[in-house]
Amino acid sequence: MDSKKNNLNKSNMKIGINGTLWITIFLIVIVILLFLLLIFKKFSITNFYYALTVWSVICTVILNIINSISETKRKKLEKAIEIVNDFDNPDLREARNFTRRFKKEHDENNLQEGKLADFIELRLNNDEMEAFMDKYKFNNKEEIYKLKSSLIYMFNYFQSMYVIIESDMADKNYILRCMKDVYKNLFNRFKVWLAENCETCDKNQFNDLVKLEELANNFKEQK
């Protein structure tokens, strides 16, 4: 919440600075126009009025463009904050709690590639299934079904994130800054299972998730 407020305040501050700058420029140009009319002895109320009208129209057009760009940036930032905050919603939080159970075994104990996928899909032999269930504190197979459902929900969320980023609907810089490390860890941990699951459900989803990983790996924060 604090991060959201800080980013919005920064955006509003930039808009305020831009407004003050343009008012200053507008007044300076009026003074210059008046000075030029006096220098070239062209000054009259009519000439000054026409010059002021033309400059006002130009300023109005420029300000409208700047305001439109600022408003678009603000909306993209708000959308990005909304997406990042959605990672804390109850459904995704449940999936995240499940994934933490596998982190140590996968990252530190060199869990054999594919074993996690076999466990999620209930393909291990009885002894291995019992060992996995005991290690990760699953009481029955229904909880494993629940895990699979939660993981599908979570990676659907990441696919939607990728589509939003690629469609330029939200602030890419903010999203990747907040989510790149989390996503890379999760994608790496469940990559084998994802490739298998997406092959039978949605082949395009795995491609999107791979491309999101590439974005995360290549991300360099823009100042």
pLDDT tens profile 26-47? 667 666 666 565 666 555 667 6
42 shares a domain with 148: no
113 shares a domain with 91: yes
DSSP H or E run through 174: helix 172-201
The number of residues making up the chain comes to: 223
Round to whole Å and give the CA distance between 124 and 16. Answer: 62
Please choose, from the candidates 152, 120, 113, 154, the residue with its C-alpha nearest in 3D space to the C-alpha of residue 136: 120
Domain-located, residue 136: yes
Q: Where a domain ends, among 75, 97, 125?
A: 75
Q: What pLDDT score does 109 carry? A: 56
196 shares a domain with 94: yes
Question: What digits encode the pLDDT tens for the residues 96-121?
Answer: 877 776 776 666 556 666 788 888 89
Q: What pLDDT score does 202 carry? A: 77
126 shares a domain with 20: no
Range of lowest pLDDT (16-20, 62-66, 198-202): 16-20
Q: Is the dihedral of CA 14, 18, 19, 20 positive or negative?
A: positive
181 shares a domain with 128: yes
Q: Which residue has the higher pLDDT, 64 or 183?
A: 183
Domain-located, residue 81: no
Please choose, from the candidates 176, 177, 173, 174, the residue with its C-alpha nearest in 3D space to the C-alpha of residue 211: 176
91 shares a domain with 64: no
Q: Which residue has the higher pLDDT, 5 or 136?
A: 136
Domain-located, residue 27: yes
**Please, are residues 85 and 4 in contact by the beta-carbon 8 Å criterion?**
yes
> What tokens were used for 107?
């990252």
164 shares a domain with 109: yes
Domain-located, residue 42: yes
198 shares a domain with 96: yes
Q: What pLDDT score does 108 carry? A: 57
Q: Where a domain ends, among 25, 54, 75?
A: 75
68 shares a domain with 160: no
Question: What digits encode the pLDDT tens for the residues 131-182?
Answer: 888 877 888 888 888 888 888 899 999 999 999 999 999 999 999 999 999 9
Please choose, from the candidates 145, 101, 138, the residue with its C-alpha nearest in 3D space to the C-alpha of residue 122: 145
21 shares a domain with 102: no
188 shares a domain with 164: yes
Question: What digits encode the pLDDT tens for the residues 49-92?
Answer: 676 677 677 767 777 777 777 888 889 999 999 999 998 887 77
176 shares a domain with 123: yes
User: Domain limits at 129?
Assistant: 87-218
Domain-located, residue 114: yes
> What tokens were used for 144?
């494993």
How many other CB atoms are found less than 10 A from the CB of residue 138? 19
Q: What pLDDT score does 66 carry? A: 74
Indicate the pLDDT class of residue 217, thresholds 50, 70 and 90.
very high
**Please, are residues 116 and 190 in contact by the beta-carbon 8 Å criterion?**
yes
Q: Look up the pTM and report it.
A: 0.71
Q: Where a domain ends, among 21, 52, 75?
A: 75
Number of structural domains the chain divides into:
2
